[in-house]
Structure 1
Amino acid sequence: MKRLIREIMFPARCVSCDKVLDYDRIHIGFCRKCHKKIRYACEPVCKKCGKVIDDFAKEYCLDCQKRTHNFVQSKGVYVYEGMIKQSMYRFKYSNRRCYRYTFSRDIIKVYGRWIKTLELDGIVPVPMYKKKQKVRGYNQAELIARQLSYDMGIPLYSDLVYRTRKTIPMKGLSDTERQKNLKNAFNFSKKALQLKRVLIIDDIYTTGSTLDSVAKVLHDAGVKEVYGLCMCVGKGYS
């Protein structure tokens, strides 16, 4: 009875268009119309960061051709465009915490086998500054990481890395400005010393500056291999 009342009062909605879902679409998270429009980050993609590229003959995106990263490899689930942009906005700023179920399912559907081959010691979400998280009420990267940890049975270490200071929003910043903004913005707890192979979870991958900064801190703590997985990635071509 309680479940029925909850479903009536708070019906499941499409992660993309926000319309109420038909019962047979609840486990998918997207309505039929939107599911056909969602663009997954499928091949060809950059072998390093997972951005979509325009040629199967190429191995790396424009960014990864110019710079090195502190992570072994990163993957993306969706291409950051269209309605998915709106979905990520609601997930971050409109308290749509329930989206984590759909996001975790899609991660496993697309990259479940890859994750298993990594033989991870743990999953680490990109941390949010404590005061900012207190205002918002949650860290979206941690929500995804926590659900994925539960669904795949991989230990979650949400307090392994923490932010040491507030940083300005990254949108609109150049790559150099992003790196400067994130310099010395993270540190690690002693728990990191016990791990050798971890997966960092974040919501959006743009240039990789955030992932690189967290990966560097983990390497400083003694972690040997750091991988990344982001819900959305951009295009790696002009």
Structure 2
Amino acid sequence: MHVNLEGIMASTLLGHLGRWLEAVYPPVCALCGDAGMRGLDLCVGCLAELPRLRFPCPCCGRPLPEAAGGRPCGRCLRRPPVYAAVYAPYRYAAPVDRLIAEFKFRGRLANARLLGELLRRAALEDGRVPPPLLIPVPLHPQRLRTRGYNQAVELARPLARTFGAHLDVDCVRRLRATLPQMSLPAARRRANVRGVFAMRAGRRLTGSVAIIDDVMTTGATVEELARVLRRAGASSVEVWSFARAGQARKP
């Protein structure tokens, strides 16, 4: 039996380093400022207040009433999305919206560790395993320079480490800068992102992939990206998002 000694040693060193850093810089709750939990910048009380999404549509991930019984929502029955499924463990509601806004728009990169860890823990708790290839929604270079980081990439890192998935940050490019989707009415969001993504020259895909994003609202962005990935050879596309907005219609 082959034993990966280098991997074991690296994991052990990282574990020691993490414990040392926590001893020197103990976790602090990102919401209330009290002492955080081990390995998490949230206190027990604030963690309990995060709105988990318990009854999503299995296709688009929109919240459904428990009585729907796991069946697809009315939208997906009428017009199935290009992507196969959505995993979004949290609802886009207070205080999740605050954590994402501070991370995405106010330069609070420390929230990257928190949100990535929460997404990783939720996947383990829910028994979800991402596809072997993770593709974060790309930013336009201009926006990436302004923000300094791509929030979707930061969310994907803990998933890649835990599940051994490959994180590809370069196979898709954003062809033009677009208006922020959340600043537009739902009717304009599809037109805003139409034709905005393209595969890098010569890149082809095989097997299933996961699109990684911070929050999914109408789904226009990930549907456009999923269409590009399917044309490039992906057999199926899942969407993994930290939070899901909206409300699904009953079947």
Residue 76 of structure 1: how far off its partner (Å):
0.6
The answer to whether 1:209 aligns with 2:211 is no
State the identity %. Answer: 24
Structure 1 pair 148–96 and aligned structure 2 pair: CA distance change class (3 A): farther
**Is the 8 Å Cα contact of residues 116 and 157 (structure 2) preserved in structure 1?**
no
Residue 172 of structure 1: how far off its partner (Å):
4.4
**Is the 8 Å Cα contact of residues 46 and 236 (structure 1) preserved in structure 2?**
no
Residues 6-51 of structure 1: CA deviation (Å, up to 9, x unaligned): 7699653324x151424xx132332122112111111x21111222
**Is the 8 Å Cα contact of residues 209 and 236 (structure 2) preserved in structure 1?**
yes
Q: Secondary structure, in 3 states, of the residue corresponding to 2:214?
A: strand
The answer to whether 1:98 aligns with 2:110 is yes
Amino acid in structure 1 at the alignment position of 2:98: Q
**Is the 8 Å Cα contact of residues 11 and 21 (structure 1) preserved in structure 2?**
yes
Partner of 2:82: 70
Partner of 1:87: 99
Return the TM-score normalized by structure 2: 0.81
Amino acid in structure 2 at the alignment position of 1:89: A
**Is the 8 Å Cα contact of residues 63 and 207 (structure 1) preserved in structure 2?**
no
The answer to whether 1:13 aligns with 2:25 is no
Return the TM-score normalized by structure 1: 0.85
What is the rounded CA distance, in whole Å, between the counterparts of 2:75 and 2:39 in structure 1? 36
Q: Gaps (5+ residues) in structure 1?
A: none
Partner of 1:61: 73
Give the total of aligned pairs.
230
Q: Which has the larger Rg?
A: 2
Residues 90-141 of structure 1: CA deviation (Å, up to 9, x unaligned): 111233323333333332333243225xxx3310000011111101100101
Structure 1 pair 123–4 and aligned structure 2 pair: CA distance change class (3 A): closer
Structure 1 pair 40–4 and aligned structure 2 pair: CA distance change class (3 A): closer
Structure 1 pair 94–151 and aligned structure 2 pair: CA distance change class (3 A): farther
Partner of 2:136: 125
**Structural RMSD (CA):** 2.6
Partner of 2:50: 38
Q: Secondary structure, in 3 states, of the residue corresponding to 1:74?
A: strand
